[in-house]
Amino acid sequence: MAAVAALPPKAAPFDPETVRADFPILERRVHDRPLVYLDNAATTQKPRAVLDAEDRFYRRHNANVHRAIHTLGNEATVAYEQAREAVGRHLGAADGRGVVFLRNATEALNLVAWAWARRRLRPGDEILLTPMEHHSNLVPWQMVARETGARLRFIPVGPDGALEMDALDRDGLLGPRTRVVAFAHCSNVLGTITPAEELCRRARAVGAVSVVDAAQSVPHAPVDVGRLGCDFLAFSGHKTYGPMGVGVLWGRPERLEAMEPLFGGGEMILKVELESATWNEVPWKFEAGTPNVAGAVGLAAACAYVRDLGQDRIAAHEAALTRLALDGLGDCPGVTIHGPGPGSPRGALVAWSADGVHPHDLAQYLDQEGIAIRAGHHCAQPLMRQLGVVATARASFGLYNTAAEVEALVGAVRRAREFFHA
Ligand SMILES: Cc1ncc(COP(=O)(O)O)c(C=O)c1O
């Protein structure tokens, strides 16, 4: 047999053209141009495997979960709990016990803030964050700080977009008062990859809990909660090729055990009296009411889809696209790229400012060419202030994007400058 035929399938080069056929929406035209979808950090498109899994659930198995005696109810319960197991294993956990299904990363982060921190923090305690957090990992902590008297502290972000880790000791940011260390694994604006393992280790060393906002990392590379050593990790299904309306909080089971539920109602109880109730086991005690079963099933299908393609191959492909975008946009006159420069670790996105062209105008110009990017503050207003801008343009990549699409983006950004400077 020829050597090449003997290679395992995952060693074959990643071919985005082949996978594009899995995504029906990519056949669309926008303003009579082929759709170039570069807004993956906001939400990703869905492969047929996910669409079919949701469709199959509703067509064949739809019933409410748990406590059902009838066949469909059992099938739905099995599908839902199998999805939990699959998501747990996708995160490197042994099983699904730490997986709480919620609506999105925002709800997952709020659950930790309200059900863990709100009940434990006291005046003088400290919550350590970074100034590049998405509002979803900032505002809940502000609310909890206001209620408990805890203080918010921030690890500075340097001009290169990296966290200034030496400030942890230099400025006494981390110490016995620190109760929570919460940070994005990958910034949704700068693309900075934070030293998550180190932050989790440092948090543990002072007895603080670590909370990883993995909304922008789980979609792009294998994430292993054991290797990270985190207490909590949050992500959204819709950013990782899964459905909207389903998100995950993974919690170390002993942490989840020690927490009180946030919402009361059906599913989350063991026994209810008129005046009191006892709670179901982890993780069900955090899932009050009817869950998004089809969403969970679709998310499990999305996890299987990226695993079958090979997460490392996807990561390598997206890194190549990001390098191409950094080089191409970096060569455009008047463009300032925010975040780590070439050679530093970076997620699959690039945010930039174009001299004399408002990001909203640019995004509208690109839309006329069928190219979807995002423009705005990206739910990171404090970071915008640090960058000295009110908004940026952002292109973010997914497994189905191609080098030709990045070249189309760069060409259109150049034309936009000429148009707006004419
Ligand atoms: C880093 C980060 N965290 C949290 C979120 C919130 O995600 P969702 O709106 O799905 O809850 C986002 C969304 O863009 C994000 O980029």
CATH of domain 51-308: 3.40.640.10
Tokens of 358: 């408002």
Tokens of 220: 């792009």
CB atoms within 10 A of CB 147: 13
Is residue 35 within 8 A of residue 372, CB to CB? The reply is: yes
pLDDT digits (tens, 9 = 90+) for 94-138: 999 999 999 999 999 999 999 999 999 999 999 999 999 999 999
pLDDT digits (tens, 9 = 90+) for 189-198: 999 999 999 9
CA atoms within 13 A on the CB side of 183: 30
**Which of 40, 106, 299 for a ligand 1 pocket mutation test, highest count of atoms within 8 Å of Cβ?**
106
CA atoms within 13 A on the CB side of 130: 32
- Residue 237: name the closest of 70, 62, 54, 57 by CA: 54
pLDDT of residue 6: 44
Q: How far apart are CA 131 and CA 157, in angstroms?
A: 7
Name the percent of the chain lying above pLDDT 90.
Answer: 94
pLDDT digits (tens, 9 = 90+) for 276-286: 999 999 999 99
pLDDT surpasses 70 at 167: yes
**Which of 103, 112, 188, 217 for a ligand 1 pocket mutation test, highest count of atoms within 8 Å of Cβ?**
188
pLDDT of residue 10: 52
pLDDT surpasses 50 at 7: no
Whose C-alpha lies nearest to ligand 1, atom 7?
105
Mark whether 379 is an active-site residue.
yes
pLDDT surpasses 90 at 74: yes
pLDDT of residue 4: 35
pLDDT surpasses 50 at 350: yes
pLDDT of residue 67: 81
Mean pLDDT of the chain: 96
341: confidence class by pLDDT, cuts 50, 70, 90:
confident
- Residue 19: name the closest of 392, 314, 320 by CA: 314
The whole-number average pLDDT for the span 215-244 is 98
Instruction: Tell me the pairing of strands 99-102 and 126-129.
Output: unpaired
Tokens of 302: 């999305």
Identify the three-state secondary structure at position 417. helix
Q: Which residues contact 45 (CB under 8 A, 6 or more apart)?
A: 23, 25, 26, 37, 241, 398, 400
Identify the three-state secondary structure at position 195. coil
Q: How far apart are CA 333 and CA 168, in angstroms?
A: 38
The whole-number average pLDDT for the span 241-259 is 98
The whole-number average pLDDT for the span 163-179 is 98
Domain boundaries for CATH 3.40.640.10 within the chain: 51-308
Whose C-alpha lies nearest to ligand 1, atom 16?
188
Instruction: Tell me the pairing of strands 392-396 and 374-376.
Output: antiparallel
7 versus 227: the higher-pLDDT residue is 227
11: confidence class by pLDDT, cuts 50, 70, 90:
low
Ligand 1: lining residues by beta carbon, under 6 Å = 41, 104-106, 134, 136-137, 184, 188, 213, 215-216, 236
342: confidence class by pLDDT, cuts 50, 70, 90:
confident
Q: How far apart are CA 407 and CA 400, in angstroms?
A: 15
* Catalytic annotation, pick one of 186, 230, 303, 379: 379
Distance 139 CA to ligand 1 centre (A): 12
Q: How far apart are CA 131 and CA 134, in angstroms?
A: 9
pLDDT surpasses 50 at 3: no
CATH topology of domain 3-46+310-421: Aspartate Aminotransferase, domain 1 (3.90.1150)
pLDDT digits (tens, 9 = 90+) for 19-65: 999 999 999 999 999 999 999 999 999 999 999 999 999 999 999 99
Distance 236 CA to ligand 1 centre (A): 7
Torsion angle in degrees (nearest 10) through CA of 201, 203, 205, 208: -140
What residues pair up with 36 in beta bridges, in sequence order?
371
CA of 132: how far to CAs of 55, 138, 155, 190, in Å?
A: 38, 9, 9, 8
207 versus 422: the higher-pLDDT residue is 207
pLDDT digits (tens, 9 = 90+) for 359-396: 999 999 999 999 999 999 999 999 999 999 999 999 99
pTM of the model: 0.96
Distance 285 CA to ligand 1 centre (A): 24
The whole-number average pLDDT for the span 250-257 is 97
Whose C-alpha lies nearest to ligand 1, atom 13?
42
Distance 184 CA to ligand 1 centre (A): 10
Weakest mean pLDDT among 174-188, 244-258, 337-351 = 337-351
Alpha helices in 240-353 (DSSP H): 253-258, 293-309, 311-330
Q: Which residues contact 92 (CB under 8 A, 6 or more apart)?
A: 222, 223, 224, 225, 226, 227
The whole-number average pLDDT for the span 231-235 is 99
User: ∠ CA(311), CA(316), CA(320), 5° rounding?
Assistant: 145
**Which of 236, 381, 396 for a ligand 1 pocket mutation test, highest count of atoms within 8 Å of Cβ?**
236
DSSP string covering 126-178:
EEEE-TT--GGGTHHHHHHHHHH--EEEE--B-TTS-B-TTHHHHTT-SSTTE
DSSP class of residue 179? E
pLDDT of residue 48: 98
| Closest approach atom of ligand 1 to CA 239 | 10
| Closest approach atom of ligand 1 to CA 379 | 14
Domain boundaries for CATH 3.90.1150.10 within the chain: 3-46+310-421
